[in-house]
Amino acid sequence: MKYNTCPKCKTKITADLAECPECGSHFSDSMQEHSTPREKSRVAMLPTVIAGVLIVIAFAGGLLFNASRHPTSETPISTPEIVETIAPTPTPTPTVTSIRLYAFGRELDADGFTAYVGDKAFTLSIILEPEIRNPAVSWSITDSHDSSESAALVISSDGMSCEFTALKPTGENELTVRCFGAEIVIPVYLWER
């Protein structure tokens, strides 16, 4: 059975009592159990022993880490090759020197082409010189006789072609295609069949 000693009257009592039956003092959890001086010295040394063990473990871990970083084997350590990435310098706005216009399987020249109201839409396409990626192409048709639209141009997503449909028989018109400083203008004749 375990005993406690009352700190006030020094009466030896059982550890399960919460107060001293002699003087009425209340016991706290911090009261020492009745033990021999040898047991008390062992308990007092416990934090020192734990600290020593932790120091030894930390030292051994450091040695293992250092040994793993510097192996003694003859095999060379392969290190990854460092490749410098050079960001491309921004380029100025590209310059297009010429635009060639195609329809009906041939290149269109200064004579232009004829389209008839009521016919199906047909494709016009261009080739840029020099060829560039993501060109900013604009297509337009002007009607010198009437301010209303004489034809419909449905331009592709990349701007390199369009579907052309004649809407009114306005005679001679001009089709203009522009891209980065280059321009082509050809006559377009719109008639009714």
Tell me the pairing of strands 122-129 and 161-166: antiparallel
39 versus 144: which is more confidently predicted?
144
Q: Quick check: 93 and 180 in contact, CB under 8 A?
A: yes
pLDDT digits (tens, 9 = 90+) for 3-28: 777 878 888 777 777 778 788 777 65
pLDDT of residue 17: 73
Which of 20-29, 31-40, 132-141 shows the lowest per-residue confidence on average (mean pLDDT)?
31-40
pTM of the entire predicted model? 0.51
112 pLDDT tier (thresholds 50, 70, 90): very high
Contact between residue 141 and residue 176 where contact means Cβ atoms under 8 Å apart: yes
Q: Where are the domains of the chain?
A: 1-34, 98-192
Question: Which has more confidence, 33 or 49?
Answer: 49
Beta strand segments in 1-112, E? 3-5, 12-14, 98-103, 106-107
Q: Which CATH architecture has domain 98-192?
A: Sandwich (2.60)
What is the residue whose two structure tokens read 């297509």? Answer: 139
What pLDDT score was predicted for residue 140?
92
